[in-house]
Amino acid sequence: MGNNDLNQRFRFNALSVIIYLVGIVIIVQLFNLQIVQGESYRQQSNTKLTRESVLEAARGSIMDRTGNVLVGTNMGFRLELYKTKVDTQTFNNTIYNIIKVLEKNGDSYIDTLPISLNPFAFQFNTDEDVIKWEKKNKITEGATAEQAFYELKDKYGIQNDSIEETRKIMTVIYAIKTTGYSTTKSIELSSNISRTSVQEFSERSEDFPGVAVSTLPLRDYRTGNLASHILGYVGKITEDEYQARKDRYSRDDYVGRTGIESVMEEYLKGENGVRQIDMDVDGTQTGEYISKEAVAGDDVVLTIDSNLQKAAEDALKNNIEKIRNGGFSQRYNAKGGSVVVTNVKTGEILALANYPDYNPGAIYRGEGWNEIRNDASKPLFNRAISGAWAPGSTFKMVTAVAGLETGVINKKEKINDVGVYRGVPNIAPVCWIWTQSHHGHGRLNVEEAIQHSCNYFFYEVGNRMGIDNLDKYVKYFGLGEKTGVELPSETAGTIASKETSQAKGKRWQGGDILNASIGQGDNNFSPIQMARYISILVNGGHRIDLSVIKSVVKADGSEVPRNEIKDFTNKKLNINKEDVEQLDISQDTINTVMEGMKSVAEEAGGTAYNIFKNFNISVGGKTGSAETSTGDVTAWFTGFAPFDDPEIAVVVMVENGGHGNYTAEVARDIISEYFGMNTQVVEENVQADTYTEYAR
Alpha-carbon distance of 6 to 92, in angstroms, equals 80
Comparing 552 with 281, the larger pLDDT belongs to 552
Q: How far from 490 is each of 369, 545, 650, 656, CA to CA, in Å?
A: 23, 14, 19, 22
Q: Do residue 557 and residue 534 come from a single domain?
A: no
Confidence of residue 681 (pLDDT cuts 50, 70, 90): very low
Percent of the chain at pLDDT above 70?
A: 89
Q: Do residue 371 and residue 390 come from a single domain?
A: yes
Q: Do residue 396 and residue 527 come from a single domain?
A: yes
Percent of the chain at pLDDT above 90?
A: 75
**For residue 25, is pLDDT > 80?**
no
Q: How far from 429 is each of 184, 328, 352, CA to CA, in Å?
A: 77, 28, 36
Confidence of residue 687 (pLDDT cuts 50, 70, 90): very low
Q: How far is CA 674 from the centre of its chain?
A: 24
pLDDT in tens, 431-441: 999 999 999 99
Out of 199-203, 282-286, 542-546, which region has the weakest mean confidence (pLDDT)?
282-286
Question: Residue 15: its pLDDT value, please?
Answer: 52
**For residue 689, is pLDDT > 90?**
no
Question: Residue 685: its pLDDT value, please?
Answer: 38
Q: Do residue 158 and residue 207 come from a single domain?
A: no
Look up the CATH number of the domain holding residue 335.
3.40.710.10
Asked, for residue 47, whether it belongs to a domain, the answer is no
Rg (the chain; Cα; Å): 35
Q: Do residue 249 and residue 282 come from a single domain?
A: yes
**For residue 6, is pLDDT > 50?**
no
Question: Residue 24: its pLDDT value, please?
Answer: 60
**For residue 310, is pLDDT > 60?**
yes
Confidence of residue 693 (pLDDT cuts 50, 70, 90): very low
**For residue 45, is pLDDT > 50?**
no
Closest CA to 342 of 546, 43, 188: 546
Alpha-carbon distance of 221 to 609, in angstroms, equals 40
Question: Residue 577: its pLDDT value, please?
Answer: 82
Q: Do residue 288 and residue 419 come from a single domain?
A: no
Question: Residue 192: its pLDDT value, please?
Answer: 86
Q: Do residue 535 and residue 401 come from a single domain?
A: yes
Question: Residue 37: its pLDDT value, please?
Answer: 52
Asked, for residue 19, whether it belongs to a domain, the answer is no
**For residue 620, is pLDDT > 90?**
yes
**For residue 657, is pLDDT > 70?**
yes
The answer to whether 612 and 601 are in contact (CB under 8 A) is: yes
Question: Residue 42: its pLDDT value, please?
Answer: 46
Cα pseudo-dihedral 240, 244, 250, 251, rounded to 10: 10
Asked, for residue 13, whether it belongs to a domain, the answer is no
**DSSP summary character for residue 673:** H
Q: Do residue 349 and residue 370 come from a single domain?
A: yes
- The count of other CB atoms within 10 Å of the CB of residue 631 is 7
Q: How far from 325 is each of 319, 331, 333, CA to CA, in Å?
A: 10, 6, 8
Question: Residue 43: its pLDDT value, please?
Answer: 46
pLDDT in tens, 329-387: 899 999 999 999 999 999 999 999 999 999 999 999 888 888 998 999 999 999 999 99
Question: Residue 26: its pLDDT value, please?
Answer: 55
pLDDT in tens, 383-418: 999 999 999 999 999 999 999 999 999 999 999 999
The answer to whether 405 and 584 are in contact (CB under 8 A) is: no
pLDDT in tens, 179-235: 888 877 788 899 889 999 999 998 998 899 989 888 888 999 999 999 999 999 999
Question: Residue 690: its pLDDT value, please?
Answer: 34
Q: Do residue 498 and residue 365 come from a single domain?
A: yes
Asked, for residue 44, whether it belongs to a domain, the answer is no
Asked, for residue 249, whether it belongs to a domain, the answer is yes
Note the residue count of the chain.
Answer: 696
* 368, HSE (Cβ side, Cα atoms, 13 Å): 10
In this prediction, residues 592-616 reach a mean pLDDT of 96
The answer to whether 289 and 275 are in contact (CB under 8 A) is: yes
Name, in order, each residue with C-beta under 8 angstroms of 78's C-beta and a sequence gap of 6 or more.
Answer: 188, 190, 191, 192, 193, 213, 214, 215, 216, 252
In this prediction, residues 57-78 reach a mean pLDDT of 95
Q: Do residue 365 and residue 401 come from a single domain?
A: yes
Q: Do residue 434 and residue 558 come from a single domain?
A: no
**For residue 27, is pLDDT > 60?**
no
Asked, for residue 21, whether it belongs to a domain, the answer is no
In this prediction, residues 162-180 reach a mean pLDDT of 93
- Full domain range(s) for residue 566: 58-77+203-302+547-571
Question: In total, how many domains does the chain have?
Answer: 3
Residue 356, preceding peptide bond in cis (omega within 30° of 0): yes
Question: Residue 370: its pLDDT value, please?
Answer: 86
**For residue 695, is pLDDT > 50?**
no
Strands 549-553 and 299-302: antiparallel
* 615, HSE (Cβ side, Cα atoms, 13 Å): 29
Q: Do residue 537 and residue 671 come from a single domain?
A: yes
Q: Report pTM.
A: 0.82
Comparing 690 with 377, the larger pLDDT belongs to 377
Q: What average pLDDT does the chain have?
A: 89
From its phi and psi, is residue 93 left (phi > 0), alpha (psi between -120 and 50) or beta? alpha
pLDDT in tens, 111-149: 999 999 999 999 998 999 999 999 999 999 999 999 999
Asked, for residue 441, whether it belongs to a domain, the answer is yes
Look up the CATH number of the domain holding residue 72.
3.90.1310.10
**DSSP summary character for residue 32:** I
Question: Residue 682: its pLDDT value, please?
Answer: 39
Question: Residue 212: its pLDDT value, please?
Answer: 87
Asked, for residue 188, whether it belongs to a domain, the answer is no
Question: Residue 5: its pLDDT value, please?
Answer: 55
Question: Residue 407: its pLDDT value, please?
Answer: 97
**For residue 241, is pLDDT > 90?**
yes
**For residue 8, is pLDDT > 80?**
no
Alpha-carbon distance of 352 to 345, in angstroms, equals 17
